[in-house]
Amino acid sequence: MSGNPDEGGLSPEDRAAIFSALLPGDDLFPPAGDLNIGDTVEGRLEATAPAAYARFLGALTTEKPPALLSTSRLVSKLKDLEADAPEDFAKVLSVIYLCYYETDPVHAAINAMGKRYNTHPQPDGYPLPVFAPSDAPSGKLGWYLPTDQVRRIPIPPGLETNAPGAEET
């Protein structure tokens, strides 16, 4: 399914309406429909869950195009779809969420909340509290046994395993 409505896909306006119904945004976070993530969402869904995406599209395009529906009617259709096909809905929604949270405006909103969000934490990573030597565990931890000293333990009858490589008894 492509983004071309003539080929059974959704128009950019339809995708934006669906995304904004699912992630409407607030005073800080932008609505998902404003972020131009449609092509990315569609490409990932076609690659990872094409059947679920096709069923999702089919369920949402049974009447007027999504962009022409009222927000309340579109939300109602999405709730019905979630109830009728929860696995398909979850697959599609997870891709939409991932694409949404990859955008710069959402990163800026997270940072504006006072949470440090670094889109590329390497090579320095996130700052960690200073490690005090007194926090280190005391005493010896773990042990080492050379391979040539490893011995098979006897397994009592009735406790055998069917693990790969296990001897049949």
CA distance 3 to 79: 23
92-101, pLDDT tens digit by residue? 999 999 999 9
Evaluate whether 42 touches 50 at the Cβ level (below 8 Å). Answer: no
CA distance 12 to 20: 12
Q: Where are the domains of the chain?
A: 5-112
Per-residue confidence at 20, pLDDT binned at 50, 70, 90?
very high
Question: Among candidates 115, 84, 119, which has minimal Cα distance to 104?
Answer: 119
- 95 vs 49, 53, 159, CA distance in Å? 10, 10, 45
Predicted local confidence at residue 2, as pLDDT = 46
Predicted local confidence at residue 58, as pLDDT = 87
Q: Is the peptide bond before 31 cis (omega within 30 degrees of 0)?
A: no
Give pTM, 2 decimals: 0.68
